[in-house]
Amino acid sequence: MNRTALSPSRILAAARALAAAVVLVSAGFVAVGCDISVGRAHELVITGSTTVLPIAEISGKEFEESHPGERVLVSGVGSSAGIEAVSKGTAAIGTSSRDLKDEEKGLGLFDTPVAYDAIVVIVNPANPVTGLTKDQVRAIFKGEITNWSEVGGPDESIGLVNRDEASGTREAFFKIVMKKERFADNAVILPGTGQVRAVVGDAEGAIGYISLGFVTPEVKALAIDGVAPSPATVESGEYPVQRTLHAFTKGTPTGLAKEYLEYLLSTEVQQGTVREAGFLPVRPKDAVR
């Protein structure tokens, strides 16, 4: 049973090696930043926060319809990646669900606030706990409280679900709720808002946090310090975990980016798309026109 040189397994192995090489080479290009897609004249590249993604996608489509010939390319890779992309020039607009960090302030980025958002602590609907204080949430995410019975729930260990370090939601949560104290090391790290929601919706002991706009019946939103998250309590300022969603441009917006941002800030989009996506419109005093 002598195998010929071209046995199926050899071909398979060769094909696999080739595929791996192609992937590695292209990964190398992406990594070094040899970006080819800086954007052509009629193409607007928007990238960054997964929280801002729904607003950017819907308004991008509508913008394309009202501006024939223009293309809006939207992707969600995390706020930090968005800021990185816009400062390197690989995207015209970088969206972010957090403020700039100190080391990012010198990059010459221009901030256009596009919406307000609340961060909501979510648990499984089967969990009888309905509210926590901010201090309790902090103790849970620091790993000091590890069982639901310590906060009035069943005798079940708490499964922490955290976001990755590129996440603007994590950064905002870290600042507002954690008061910059370190997260527990044993939390599961998930790279997207949707994944956090899916896992918490599926695992009874889990706790996580997502943007208000992403809350669906598959998870239960907890009241914080006695205030339930809702557009009304966010707008009135009662709900304590709030933040601003940003669109950054390199310098003041020009050309297509300017037209798009003006459209995004129009009453029509702010009162329509932004509200429908579960966020709150920017107050006129904050909007940069």
Partner 1 sequence: MSRGTYLREGALRTLFFACACVAVAAVALIFLFVGWRGWPVVTDIGLGAFLTGARWASSEKAFGILPLVAGSGAVVLGALALGSPLAVATAVFLSEIASPKVRAVVRPAVELLAGIPSVIYGFFGLVVLRPIVADLTGGLGFGPLTGAVILAVMIVPTIATLTEDALGSLPPGIREASYAMGATTWQTIRRVLLPAAKVGIIDAIVLGMGRAVGETMAVLMVVGNATQFPHGLGEPVSTLTSQIVMDMPYAAGPHRTALFGMAVILFLVSMGLVATVRLMSRLK
Residue placing its CB nearer to partner 1 in the complex, 24 or 36: 24
**Cβ at position 62, least distance to partner 1 in Å:** 27
* Residue type at 192 in one-letter notation: G
28-67 binders of partner 1 (CB under 8 A): 28, 30-32
Q: For residue 111, what are the β-bridge partners?
A: 248
Residue 274 Cβ vs partner 1, minimum distance, rounded to whole Å: 26
Nearer to partner 1, 139 or 188 (CB): 188
Site string for partner 1, 131-160 (x = CB under 8 A): --------------------------x-x-
Q: Which neighbouring-strand residues pair with 50?
A: none
Q: List the x/- string, 175-214, binding to partner 1 by CB under 8 A.
A: ----------xxxxxxx-------x--xx-xx--------
- Which of 126, 232 has the CB closer to partner 1? 126
* Joined tokens for residue 28: 């190398």
The CA distance from 272 to 280, in Å, is 10
Tokens representing 20?
């791996």
Q: Residue count at the site for partner 1 (CB under 8 A)?
A: 41
Give the span between the Cα atoms of 246 and 101, in whole angstroms. Answer: 13
Alpha-carbon span 10 to 25, nearest angstrom: 22
**Cα 22 from chain centroid?**
30
Among the listed ranges 22-30, 131-139, 217-225, 241-249, the one in contact with partner 1 (CB under 8 A) is 22-30
Q: How far apart are CA 202 and CA 100, in angstroms?
A: 34
Q: Which is nearer to partner 1, 186 or 254 (CB)?
A: 186
Q: Which residue, 203 or 228, has its beta carbon nearer to partner 1?
A: 203
CA 49 → CA 17, 80, 259, 269, distances in Å? Answer: 34, 8, 21, 19
| Burial of residue 55, with CB atoms counted within 10 A of its CB: 0-12 exposed, 13-18 middle, 19 or more buried | buried
Is the CB of residue 186 less than 8 Å from the CB of residue 203?
no
Work out the number of other CB atoms within 10 angstroms of the CB of residue 36: 6
Min CB(202)–partner 1 separation in Å? 7
The residue among 28 and 152 lying less far from partner 1, judged by its C-beta, is 28
Q: Between 19 and 232, whose beta carbon lies closer to partner 1? A: 19
Site string for partner 1, 65-104 (x = CB under 8 A): ------------xx-xx--x--------------------
Touching partner 1, residues 223-262 (CB under 8 A): none
With H, G, I as helix, E, B as strand and everything else as coil, classify residue 131. strand
Q: How far is the CB of 122 from partner 1 (least distance, A)?
A: 14
Residue 65, H or E segment: helix 53-66
Q: How far is the CB of 2 from partner 1 (least distance, A)?
A: 7
Of positions 4, 5, 6, 24, contacts partner 1 by CB under 8 A: 24
Say how far apart CA 199 and CA 203 lie, in whole Å.
Answer: 6
Helix (H) or strand (E) holding 119: strand 109-123
Interface residues with partner 1 (CB under 8 A) are 1-3, 7-9, 12, 16-18, 20-21, 24-25, 28, 30-32, 77-78, 80-81, 84, 157, 159, 161, 164-166, 185-191, 199, 202-203, 205-206
